[in-house]
Amino acid sequence: MSGARWKARLTPAAAGANTAPMNFSGGSAPGWQRLIACGTMAAGLSVLGACVNVNAPSEPIVIELNVNIKQEVLYRLVDSAEENIEENPEIF
Amino acid sequence: MAATGKTIRNIATALLAAGALATVATPAFAQRDPAYAAARANGTIGEKMDGYLGFVGSPSGDLKKLVDDLNIRRKASYADRARSQGVTIEEFAFTQGCLLIARTVAGEKYQAPDGSWQTRGSGPARVDPRCPAAS
């Protein structure tokens, strides 16, 4: 199993916690995405010229709570993993 | 840059954790099957980052059977604990792998974060920076 494969898989859950706080920076979508969104909205609502441009704040919104929860989970996993070795020494 | 600082801090934390774990003696491993213990000691097999044992070279049929059996039993234990912790088997196994790599002793093989096999020296093992620090 290559390192890269599980690395990618585990990143959101196991890793994200331990590394950087998650940054939710609002819609700085490229222009073409906005165009598509506008087009979709116009088509769906049958209202022309109803597109509103919303500017995202330049500062990323950092939600620290997520980080704490995830780190708590990681610590719990370590405790359980330690226990696993103690309870099943013959397989480790 | 903030991200770089964080990465360095994480690596430092991981190294500290590895050092702390390395100093914890593990007499429980005395219960290993002699063939398994020998294969670990001579570097035929090693601890992978995913929490399972891997073959460094090509193993004999008997050794392969033995290691496959250990890995199946490991997976069963990971599945139980992952379920009670509400995480995936892979997430639990990864955490277990962090611990198992940190607990290798000098001369044993382990998989480094780049995927290569390394022989544990006298210093701490190179664990993934995402490995949680030991409590």
Question: What helix, strand, coil percent values describe chain A, rounded to 5?
Answer: 65, 5, 35
Region B41-67: what's the mean pLDDT? 95
Specify whether the CB–CB gap between B123 and B6 falls below 8 A. Answer: no
A9: in domain: no
Q: A1 vs B50: CB contact, 8 Å cut-off?
A: yes
A6: in domain: no
Mean confidence (pLDDT) of chain B = 85
The pTM is what? 0.59
pLDDT at B31 (0 to 100) = 87
Identify the residue among B11, B33, B77 best suited for mutation to test binding to A, counting A beta carbons within 10 A and taking the highest: B77
Region B84-102: what's the mean pLDDT? 94
A8: in domain: no
pLDDT at A18 (0 to 100) = 43
A2: in domain: no
pLDDT-derived band at B11 (thresholds 50, 70, 90) equals low
Nearest to B114 among A3, A71, A90 (CB): A3
Q: How far is B93 from chain A (nearest CA, A)?
A: 8
pLDDT-derived band at B23 (thresholds 50, 70, 90) equals very low
Q: How far apart are CA B49 and CA B96, in angstroms?
A: 9
Nearest to B85 among A9, A80, A88 (CB): A80
CA pseudo-torsion sign B76, B79, B82, B83: negative
Q: How far apart are CA B133 and CA A13, in angstroms?
A: 16
Closest CA to B22 of B124, B133, B130: B124
A5: in domain: no
**Is the pLDDT at B44 greater than 50, yes or no?**
yes
**Is the pLDDT at A84 greater than 80, yes or no?**
yes
A11: in domain: no
Q: In this structure, how many other beta carbons lie within 10 angstroms of the beta carbon of residue A73?
A: 19
Chain A residues 34-53 with a CB less than 8 Å from chain B: none
Nearest to B94 among A14, A20, A82 (CB): A14
Q: How far apart are CA A14 and CA B121, in angstroms?
A: 27
User: How many residues are present in chain B?
Assistant: 135
For chain B, the structural domain boundaries read 2-119
Q: A85 vs B88: CB contact, 8 Å cut-off?
A: no
Q: How far apart are CA B89 and CA B79, in angstroms?
A: 5
What kind and span of H or E run contains B94? helix B89-102
Domain of residue A57: give its range.
16-91
The count of domains in chain A is 1
Q: How far apart are CA B125 and CA B35, in angstroms?
A: 24
Q: B115 vs A3: CB contact, 8 Å cut-off?
A: yes
Assembly ipTM: 0.76
> A33-56 pLDDT, tens per residue?
655 555 555 555 555 567 888 787
A39: in domain: yes
Question: What helix, strand, coil percent values describe chain B, rounded to 5?
Answer: 55, 10, 35
**Is the pLDDT at B43 greater than 90, yes or no?**
yes
Strand order in the sheet with B53-55: B53-55, B45-47, B109-111, B117-119
Specify whether the CB–CB gap between B18 and B128 falls below 8 A. Answer: no
Regarding predicted confidence, which is higher, B131 or B26? B131
Within 8 A of B130 by CB-CB distance, chain A residues are 10, 14-15, 18-19
Closest CA to A58 of A88, A30, A26: A26
pLDDT-derived band at B67 (thresholds 50, 70, 90) equals very high
Q: How far apart are CA B27 and CA B6, in angstroms?
A: 35
pLDDT at B130 (0 to 100) = 84
Q: B28 vs A76: CB contact, 8 Å cut-off?
A: no
